[in-house]
Amino acid sequence: MKTEVRVNELSCPFCGNNNYCGVNSSSPCWCFESKIPNALVELLPNKLQHKSCICKNCINSFNTHPAHFKKSIQLKP
């Protein structure tokens, strides 16, 4: 099977877990109501910004320990 290189809008760009984004479902996604800190979005490479949702987990850990979160993220190039 061939691996496609594309943005998976269903997985969190930071941790790769399911972000439970409702972008493809009929009900509005939780992320519409959730405030994602700009500083957190800025940690993403440009091409990933506003493409896929960041999961609640990552938002929470960023809010709790921004410095620790920055160290722990492993972005794929």
Binding footprint of Zn ion on the chain (CB under 5 A): 12, 14-15, 55, 57-58
Provide the H-helix boundaries in the chain.
38-41, 56-64, 66-72
CA nearest neighbour of 44 among 65, 15, 17 = 15
Joined tokens for residue 39: 């500083």
Smallest gap from residue 5 Cβ to Zn ion (A): 20
Residue 26 or 74 having the CB closest to Zn ion:
74
Q: Whole-number minimum distance, CB 27 to Zn ion, in Å?
A: 21
- Nearer of residues 24 and 74 to Zn ion, judged by Cβ: 74
